[in-house]
Every structure is written in C-alpha cells, then in structure tokens.
Amino acid sequence: MVGCFLAAVSLSSAVPVEDVRVESSGNREMDIESVLAYISVQPGDEFTHQAVTQDLKNLKNSNRFSLVDVVRENGRDGIIVKFVVTEKPRIRRLRISGAEHFGNRKVRNNLELQVGDYVDDATLGMKCKKVIEEYHKALYPFVKVTWSIEVDENANLADVVLMIKEGSRAVVGRIDFEGNTLFKPSELKKNMQQRVRRWYSWMTGSGVYDPDLLAGDLNSIRVLYLDKGYLDVRLGDPIVTDMGGEKIGITIPIREGRPYQVGRVTLEGVTLFPEDLVFALIQVTPGAAASVGDMKAASTRIQQYYGRRGYIETRVRVDRQADPATGIADVIFTVKEGHLAYIRSINISGNTRTKDKVIRRELAVYPGEVMNEVKIQTSERRLQNLGYFSFVNSTYESTSRSGYYDLTFDVEEKRTGQFMVGAGFSSIDQLIGFVEVGQGNFDLFGWPRFTGGGQKIKLRATFGTERQDYEFSFVEPWFLDRKLSLGFDLFRNDSRYFSDDYEQRNTGGSLSLTKPLTSFDRLTLSYSLQQIRVYNVDDAASEEIKKEEGSTLQSMVGVSLLHDTRDSVFVATRGNRTKLAAEVAGGPLGADVDMYRLTSKTTQHIPVWFDHFISLRGELSVVDAYGQSDEVRIFDRLYLGGPRSLRGFKYRHVGPVDENEEPIGGKTMAFGSVDYDIPIWSKFRLAAFYDVGMVYADSYSLQGQDNTGDYNSDVGVGVRIDIPGFPLRLDYAWPMETGEYNDRSSGRFSFLIGYVL
C-alpha cells in the first residue's frame, strides 16, 4: 500500500498536505500527541515521499509499535496523510522459568526488558538472542528459549512468561577432519586446545565444548600448514553435530592446496649496514619448504639486528610471490630502516605501591645508551616475571634534543599477597592441613602498608597426623642494593613419620646469601643453627635408637652451586638442573655435632617426540663424622625409599636397619631414576619409571656388609596431575632387585603433593 501511494504521489508535483492524522488499528485508545512527536510532516507542507518515508522509519525505530502503515486520502485542498499504527502493549508482569544456571536476575539483565517496556513477539525474539548468546558462551549450545504473551486488551498491558530449556552443557565426543592428507588426525588434535571428553575429564575439566577455544584451534592448524609451505590452505567453519545425550561431534573441513618451495630470495632497502651481513640473517634457502614460520623468524632476526644497534622503528615486510602452476614462491624481504636513537631518561608509570628502585634495578637499559630494543624487551620480561604486575609495556617519546628519547615503562599492579587454607593426603604425611599467609612484594620498613619493597615473606603452619610444622621465611632479593639475595628462615618441625620407634623435633633458623654468577648459575652460602630432639622413644626400640634420645645442638655452614637451564621450574621438558653442595657442622662453629655432608645431584630432561620427554635423575651423597664426634647421628644419616626416591619401597626403608628391622640410615647413598612422561592434556600426564639405588653403612663405600655391590630397584607407572598450587603424583611401583637390608615385597602405591626436583 505504501509503495503504491508513494508512486502515485511522485506523478504529481507541489501537492500540499491538507492534514496529518493518526489512527490506531483495533479499538484501543491511544495518546495521539505522543505519536505525532515522531512525525515531521505538517499540514501546509509540500508533500514529499522522502519526508513520509523518514517518518515511517522514526515510528518503527521507536519500538513502540508492532505495525506502522500510511494511507493517502484526497482532501478538498490537498492530500490527507493518515498514519495507522498498532501500539505494542506494555509489560505488566515478567516471569522467567527454567533459568537454573544463570538465575532469573542475570537473564533479566541480558534480556534488557523490564516492567513498563513495550513488548511483542518481534521484540522478544530479538531480545532473547542475547540470552541465547550468553548461554552459548557458558557452553550450553542446546538451549531453547520460548515465550508467551497474554494481553489485557482494555488496558493494553501484557503478562510475559519466558520459558528456558537450558539443556546440558555440551561435551565433545568426537573431533574429525575432512580433506587432511599431510597431517594425521592425531597430529592436528595435538595442537588443539579443544579436547574430546575422556574418562579422566572429571578431574581435568577437559572435553567441554568451547567455541572460543575452537576458533583459536583453527588458526593453530592453519599455522601448521603454513609452516610446511602450504600457502593456499583454507579451513572451513567447524560443523557441529548432535551425537545424542550431551555429546557433540565436531568436523573441521580442510582444503590443503599444494605445497610450495622457496624460489629466489631477495633483500631490499638495506643501506646502513653491509647487505651481505643482513642477508646472512635470513637463513631461508631456495628449494626448502616455503615455511611462513621461517620467514617470520628471519624477519624478526633482521629487526632485532637493527634494534640492538639503536635503530628504532625498523620494519621488515615479507612478500611471497607464489606461482600455483610451478609450486615455487619467490620471497622478498623489504627493510624500512629506522633511525638511530638514544635514551635521554627512563620513566616509570602506574606503580602505586612498588618503589621505583625495585623496578629500575630489573631494567637492562640505562639513560645515555642507544635505544636497544632487544634489551627493552628483556626488561619487560624481567618486570613481568617479578609477579607484581598484570601488565607491562614500554613506550618512548621524542624530546627537544635531536636523536634522544624518553623511555617509559607502564605497569599495572596486581595483588601480591596471598592467604591459603588447604588439606591433603600423602603416603608419607598421611592426612595434613595447612594455613599460609604470604606477601610477594613486601617492604620491611614500609609502614603502615608494608608493600612495594620487592621482598618476600611467608608464614605457614602445617598440621597432620604425622607432622606439625611452623615456618617463617623472609627473602630480600637485592641485599645492600646488589644482586645478592638474603634469606632468613625460622622453623619448628615435629615429625612422627621418620620411624615407628621415635619422634623428632627440629627447632631453629638459617641465614643464606645467594649470588647469581651467570644466567644459569647461582652460588649460595648458608648458616643454620638448630636444636634436634629425639623423643618418645619406644621401650622396645634397639639400643642403636635409644642412644639417640635427647636434645642436640647443631651449628652448620654450607655452600652450594646450582646450574639450572630447565625450560620450566615445575614441569620441565628440556634442560638440566645440577646442584653441588658441601655442609660442615661443628668444629670451629661449636655446638654438639661434628660432621660434614657432600652431595651432588643432577636431573636432565630430554624431549623425544609428540611432546613426550624423558627425565634422568642421579644423586650421590656421603656423610661422615670428624673431630670430637666418632659417629654420625641418626638424624644426619642418609635414607632412600618413598615417593621422592625408590618408589617401590617404604619411606626411608632402603638402607641399613637395626635388629628390629627399623631403618637407621647410612653414610653413603647412590640413586638414579629414569621417567618417561606422556602428556595427555595440558595438566594431565602419564608416566613410566625405573628407580635404582642403595644406602651403605660406611662413608665413601659402595659395598654392602659382605663386600658386594648391593642395590635396590623398582619399575612402575604413574599419573601426574599438574593442578596449580596442588600438583599430584600418584605412582605404583614393583620392586625388582632388593639389597641385603630389604626383602622382596609386593607392589607399593605412593601419593605425593608437590614436584620432585
């Protein structure tokens, strides 16, 4: 009707508007003036279809009307324009049912409707899309939203009922690929964050359908192909199918295209340095696969070459001229050289608690130097690794002095204090609970907040059926404003798990200084003073143990060298950690114990294939008495067995025993193990292992009492669950060989909270 009317009007010219009227379809009364407020056409105006069309849009966009129409009538002196509208009812009551996951309040907020708003089916259909989107984000892909509207025609009010059938959270039962020939499905899945639901997923949380993860996975798969030279690869939208129940299947279409090889490699734009030196950084050779990753790495190397020399804003563009007919891709590296820049001053911004000097001492750049972009990036990483900031970024601004810039590090601080309460169980400690309070950015003299000084402080209490520990520790990482870490500890440890025949209490403190020698090496000097009390000795205990009863004061100094090249502090997959340590008690240090201990310990992590890795551990220790002492006390002797060493044997039960077969330890210990880890999920691993070792009664002797080279060994399997703050190790091991002090026993289960270094 509107189209015909406008067409008819267009045939005439200069037709005046005689009157503008508003009518309501149906018998409802309506506020005419409120409708006229949206209409610009006025009586006496020259009629134009543009003006009428705009008024129709204004009425529709007001969301007050479910129907808007316009009718033309010929009047005596012109045209009568009549707008016919159907006003939506206003919401009188709004009821929501079935919103168990979000709750009614959150659904109302997402719906963006409340009592008094205009409503109809079209409005609800549009508004419910937001509700459905929020459910999809919460991993409810099968949610259904329906509604009913009961209108009181006389009052033009509506009672709205929104009915939600959430369905179940979707879990992925299957991931398939179509068109892949280069990579096996297992290789593609290995690079995906979206996982299939497995039997162990209740522990890890994996296998839940997440569209955002899947979108990132598509890019990861695409990168795999690009790095193999498949420059034309295309990935289609994932196809999600219902497998019944709460499971869905995901199919990812892949069009691989053909592989490309590198043709000619050229470099353009280099004028500041010898071109052959810069070209040598590219390392992309003709005939090799046209790997996009290799090209990006070459681009980064060139940019860093300039950046190290202070030429900021240097950019490298990589152009690929690929010929589908030949499968050859010529690569052109174009360098847009920057300009030489120096640092005039360094500013720190955003730190409200952390002192400036705590930040500045971590920087690898200084005023007056060239603007080394690599060192600036190193500085950003150092600040991020402090754990004080959620955001670190650097910017620079030109100054009035030509070639000099002001460098600013912007930081955003985060909470560094922590309070933890927890409970656990292990095969050694049995049932334990703990309370811990700590501050990772402490300031001893920063009253009243005591934060921002970069120090670390921690108080921890552990209570259990087999132990009761109290610990206080303080670390100043920059003692005397030097890269020298000062550590101070106080402790009281009550241990009932060492033996069934006695209990042991260690009370004391220690002081240490640690100096970094290189990026991978640290030297530590320490001193400790503690009182060691052996008490509650069983009446049936051997004389060997009974003579240990009482309190002993031990004064000890130690030195250690640590070499650490691991790729991770906790779950390392490559690198080495080696520690050499020597400790001496008594002598000029006084107290009741004259003894020394030498320890060497190393762990090598070796990646193999498909993210599998091997960990090799070895340890050799010796302890001996000297001076006024003619025997090493039981608390200073060496022990093996349990979840941290020989996992097929009871804790501390590998080595010499008394006539009651109670472990009394030895003076020489040798241990080795090999673990093969298989990552199943980012926080879940399977492992197979072999342990071998022995504790011998005499110092510097690897011989048993009968002059044989006794040893113990076991083989086993395990599960590793890397929950942050609560890592679990579950192992089951079977003894293979047993030494003179141990009888062959059946398999043994061990359970440990924590990591093994």
The model's confidence at residue 72, banded by pLDDT at 50, 70 and 90, is confident
- Do residues 589 and 548 touch, judged by C-beta distance below 8 A? no
Instruction: Report the C-alpha gap between 589 and 664 in whole angstroms.
Output: 26
Q: Residue 301's domain is classified under what CATH number?
A: 3.10.20.310
Written as six digits, the tokens of 229 are: 């030279």
pLDDT surpassing 50 at residue 3: no
pLDDT surpassing 80 at residue 142: no
Across the chain, mean pLDDT equals 88
- Do residues 304 and 376 touch, judged by C-beta distance below 8 A? no
From 379, 413, 447, the end of a domain falls on 413
Q: Regarding predicted confidence, which is higher, 176 or 48?
A: 176
Nearest to 293 by CA among 331, 325, 327: 331
Q: Is residue 476 in some structural domain?
A: no
Both 558 and 698 in a single domain? yes
Both 251 and 284 in a single domain? no
pLDDT surpassing 80 at residue 14: no
Written as six digits, the tokens of 193 are: 């964050």
Q: Is residue 492 in some structural domain?
A: no
What pLDDT shows up at residue 562?
97
Nearest to 295 by CA among 327, 271, 320: 320
Q: Is residue 424 in some structural domain?
A: no
List the alpha helices (DSSP H) in 558-652. Answer: none
Residue-range definition of the domain harbouring residue 324: 261-339
Q: Regarding predicted confidence, which is higher, 269 or 702?
A: 269
Q: Regarding predicted confidence, which is higher, 294 or 757?
A: 294
Q: Is residue 469 in some structural domain?
A: no
Q: Is residue 449 in some structural domain?
A: no
From 30, 52, 87, the end of a domain falls on 87
Question: Could you identify the residue written with the tokens 């060493």?
Answer: 645
Our CA angle for 219, 135, 680, nearest 5°, is 45
Q: Residue 562's domain is classified under what CATH number?
A: 2.40.160.50
Instruction: Report the C-alpha gap between 565 and 572 in whole angstroms.
Output: 10
pLDDT surpassing 50 at residue 10: no
How many structural domains does the chain have? 6
Written as six digits, the tokens of 128 are: 């419910």
pLDDT surpassing 90 at residue 502: yes
Q: Is residue 189 in some structural domain?
A: yes
pLDDT surpassing 70 at residue 743: no
Q: Regarding predicted confidence, which is higher, 515 or 62?
A: 515
> Which of 26-40, 237-251, 256-270, 696-710 reaches the highest mean pLDDT?
256-270
Both 571 and 618 in a single domain? yes
What pLDDT shows up at residue 116?
82
What DSSP element (H or E) covers 144?
Answer: strand 144-152
Instruction: Report the C-alpha gap between 94 and 107 in whole angstroms.
Output: 11
pLDDT surpassing 80 at residue 290: yes
Both 578 and 713 in a single domain? yes
- Do residues 457 and 438 touch, judged by C-beta distance below 8 A? yes
List the alpha helices (DSSP H) in 146-210. Answer: 185-190, 201-204
From 255, 282, 303, the end of a domain falls on 255
Both 606 and 553 in a single domain? yes
- Do residues 307 and 373 touch, judged by C-beta distance below 8 A? yes
What pLDDT shows up at residue 708?
46
Both 282 and 155 in a single domain? no
Spacing of C-alpha 264 from chain mean position: 41
pLDDT surpassing 50 at residue 2: no
Q: Is residue 249 in some structural domain?
A: yes
Lowest mean pLDDT among 406-410, 481-485, 533-537, 753-757: 753-757
Written as six digits, the tokens of 630 are: 């003619």
**CA neighbours closer than 13 Å in the CB half-sphere of residue 150:** 7
Instruction: Report the C-alpha gap between 508 and 250 in whole angstroms.
Output: 60
Q: Is residue 59 in some structural domain?
A: yes
Both 106 and 187 in a single domain? no
* Three-state SS at 172: strand
Both 573 and 600 in a single domain? yes
What pLDDT shows up at residue 4?
42
Residues 406-434 have a mean pLDDT of: 85
Dihedral angle computed from the Cα positions of residues 545, 550, 554 and 560, in that order, rounded to the nearest 10 degrees: 40
Total-model pTM = 0.70
Both 580 and 665 in a single domain? yes
Instruction: Report the C-alpha gap between 161 and 409 in whole angstroms.
Output: 54
Q: Regarding predicted confidence, which is higher, 123 or 381?
A: 381
pLDDT surpassing 60 at residue 316: yes
Instruction: Report the C-alpha gap between 257 and 132 in whole angstroms.
Output: 37
What pLDDT shows up at residue 87?
78
List the alpha helices (DSSP H) in 75-120. Answer: 104-111
What pLDDT shows up at residue 122?
82
Per cent of the chain over pLDDT 90 is 59
What pLDDT shows up at residue 216?
92
Both 114 and 251 in a single domain? no
The model's confidence at residue 704, banded by pLDDT at 50, 70 and 90, is low
Both 518 and 633 in a single domain? yes
Tens digits of residue pLDDT in 171-230: 889 999 999 999 999 899 988 988 888 776 666 667 778 887 899 999 999 999 999 999
Instruction: Report the C-alpha gap between 523 and 541 in whole angstroms.
Output: 42
pLDDT surpassing 70 at residue 6: no
Written as six digits, the tokens of 168 are: 């179940």
CB atoms within 10 A of CB 122: 11
Tens digits of residue pLDDT in 230-262: 999 999 999 988 887 778 899 999 999 999 999
Q: Regarding predicted confidence, which is higher, 166 or 649?
A: 649
Both 596 and 654 in a single domain? yes
Give pairs for 20-24: CB < 8 Å, separation 24+: 20/80, 20/81, 20/82, 20/83, 21/80, 21/81, 21/82, 21/83, 22/82, 22/83, 22/85, 23/82, 23/83, 23/84, 23/85, 24/84, 24/85, 24/86, 24/87
Lowest mean pLDDT among 197-211, 309-323, 392-406: 197-211
- Do residues 81 and 90 touch, judged by C-beta distance below 8 A? no
Tens digits of residue pLDDT in 426-472: 777 777 888 999 999 999 998 888 999 999 999 999 988 888 999 99
Tens digits of residue pLDDT in 601-628: 999 999 998 789 999 999 999 999 999 8
Q: Regarding predicted confidence, which is higher, 334 or 80?
A: 334
Instruction: Report the C-alpha gap between 46 and 254 in whole angstroms.
Output: 61
Nearest to 94 by CA among 167, 165, 163: 163
Nearest to 408 by CA among 481, 351, 493: 351
Written as six digits, the tokens of 583 are: 């400790």
